[in-house]
Structure 1
Amino acid sequence: MTGPVRSVSQALAILRLLAETSPLSLSEIGRMVGLSPSSCLNLLKTLVGEGVVERDPRTKYYRLAHAWSALDVLRDGAAQRLIDRAQPLMVRFAQSFDAAVGLWKMVSRERTRLVSRAESNAGMRLHLADAQRQPLGGGAVGRALAAVQGVDGAELRRRFAPVRWQADLSFETYAGQVREAAERGFAVDQGFAHRGVCTVAAGIAGGTPGFCLSASILAGSRSAGEIEALGAALLGLGAALVPER
């Protein structure tokens, strides 16, 4: 008995990604689906030839063809399953670490959106507004996504440019923080995105692309060691959300 055809699975992964997040470049699609540039290009050429995907000749970005973009069947069921798995684990995490926990999804080349949240039951606690959006490069989430996606310098600068920080932050410092996040697996924002708030974030590698977890606490309320422990625990939570293959 033969197994699944890998190229078909990869093509469907591209279609689901474009149904949720588009337009995207070849390199962005390859990174988010986990394909080499050559393999990704061959699949995209086939999908374009079949009229399922369109390529803008000016920008070179890809999106679903109009007739296909309306099909709900392509909306990522794996994404919803990840959100459903995450919620009870996020609640326990929020209680354990007395933090406001968020699950974010990259919804375009410009934005991320909060798709699930949890908070502790402490009398004084941080609260994340439902379904809020933020610039793709913003906060700890922006740094963590850039790190896990391995974006190049030009793309990193594009993501950084529109962000309005509440404390002065140079691109050079930001880029260094992204490199640090790539090394240790999680990013930290110490009051740059929101004054008085420290946020730790970890991109979810593998499984469903474009997701990131965050945990926010009051700035100055934890030691450097406790923040490291929070980041390590957040990494563990992300790993628990990716089903074994």
Structure 2
Amino acid sequence: MSSSSTGKGAGAGVIVKPVVNAVRILRYLAQKGSPERASDIARHLSINPSTCFNILRTLVAEDVVDFNALSKTYSAGLGLARLVEQLVTQGQRVQMAQPLMHELAARHSVTVTLWRRMGEDRIVLVSSESSPTDLRIDMPAGQRLPILMGASGRLFASRMGLSEEALRRAFEEMRWARPLSFETYLREVNRARRRGWAIDDGYFAAGVVAIAAPVCDPSANMAYTISAVSIRGQRDEAEIDALGDALRDLGHRLESVLY
């Protein structure tokens, strides 16, 4: 299997040619809208005919491409439509969560963000609602963070079942905006486990306090976190506790929206 490296930009990585060709074939069949022979697909996309045929066979086996044995043609399969439908449905559910996020953002004068777990080591920002006040913190969707960083990271650390030694190793690889000892981090992880929300008081981003609560799927796995971000030093302890409780309640409400 051949591969090449782009070597450009922060998102650069290894490009696997057969995967690229598979995506090109799926895109072509979806846009074409009519069955095509393997030879025609290969010629149109400038793919080696044997390579194209093998990719098509694999896509048929994965139920994202249909094969008509009589006409020897291929077309976009039902499995591809179902996959797209699932993605659209997920996006629609995130949109349904936005009014609830906006209401909390306005009530507490914070920026409310929704983070989704991506694999074992990352979370990604999928939605953000800012306070309608003049002072606001804007956060772009698509931003990715290490799973154990920030307020959300303390929540994941409390639920991932890591040993203290494993958690310490992961902690030592993270960089913080201001000094944070592992002992303090561990206390905050344990506290998050007890009260159902977590706080990062300017350790991840200087001058910013973040509070996060879990959003669990039907199997009680934490798939999302809902977070409130504001300028550090604006709230006393009682106000922070009230915001944490409000986020925890919103997290529970979002479970019925996102699933």
Confirm whether residue 88 of structure 1 aligns to residue 104 of structure 2: no
Match of 1:241 in 2: 254
- 1:112, 1:203 → 2: CA distance? 13
Match of 1:219 in 2: 232
Please list, as runs of the form range in 1=range in 2, the aligned pairs for 1:38-77 lying within 5 A after superposition: 73=82
- 1:158, 1:107 → 2: CA distance? 21
Confirm whether residue 97 of structure 1 aligns to residue 104 of structure 2: no
Larger Rg: 2
User: What secondary structure is seen at the aligned counterpart in 2 of 1:117?
Assistant: strand
User: What secondary structure is seen at the aligned counterpart in 1 of 2:142?
Assistant: coil
- 1:159, 1:147 → 2: CA distance? 13
Cα offset, 1:177, TM superposition: 0.6
Cα offset, 1:155, TM superposition: 4.5
Match of 1:129 in 2: 140
User: What secondary structure is seen at the aligned counterpart in 2 of 1:146?
Assistant: helix
User: What secondary structure is seen at the aligned counterpart in 1 of 2:252?
Assistant: helix
Match of 1:119 in 2: 130
Cα offset, 1:157, TM superposition: 3.1
- 2:93, 2:187 → 1: CA distance? 30
Cα offset, 1:151, TM superposition: 4.0
- 1:240, 1:155 → 2: CA distance? 33
Tell me, yes or no, if the aligned pair for 1:147 and 1:179 is still in contact at 8 Å: yes
Larger strand fraction of residues: 2
Match of 1:185 in 2: 196
Cα offset, 1:74, TM superposition: 5.5
**Alpha-carbon spacing, 1:214–1:68, altered in 2? closer, same or farther (3 Å):** farther
Identity %: 35
**Alpha-carbon spacing, 1:115–1:68, altered in 2? closer, same or farther (3 Å):** farther
Give unpaired runs (5+ residues) of structure 1. 1-65
Match of 1:37 in 2: none
CA RMSD of aligned residues (A): 2.8
Cα offset, 1:68, TM superposition: 5.3
Cα offset, 1:162, TM superposition: 2.9
**Alpha-carbon spacing, 1:118–1:157, altered in 2? closer, same or farther (3 Å):** same
Tell me, yes or no, if the aligned pair for 1:202 and 1:231 is still in contact at 8 Å: yes
Q: Pick 1 or 2: higher relative contact order, CA cutoff 8 A, min separation 6.
A: 1
Q: Could you list the per-position Cα deviations for residues 132-188 of structure 1 after superposition, in whole angstroms to 9, with x for gaps in the alignment?
A: 111111100111222244544344335423321001112221111100000000001
Q: Could you list the per-position Cα deviations for residues 97-153 of structure 1 after superposition, in whole angstroms to 9, with x for gaps in the alignment?
A: 110111001112221100111001111111112211111111001112222445443
Cα offset, 1:81, TM superposition: 5.2
User: What secondary structure is seen at the aligned counterpart in 1 of 2:216?
Assistant: coil
Match of 2:23 in 1: none
User: What secondary structure is seen at the aligned counterpart in 1 of 2:127?
Assistant: strand
The alignment of Structure 1 onto Structure 2 pairs a total of residues equal to: 181
Tell me, yes or no, if the aligned pair for 1:148 and 1:204 is still in contact at 8 Å: no
Match of 1:213, as an amino acid?
A: I
Give unpaired runs (5+ residues) of structure 2. 1-58, 65-78
Give the TM-score normalised by the residue count of structure 1: 0.65
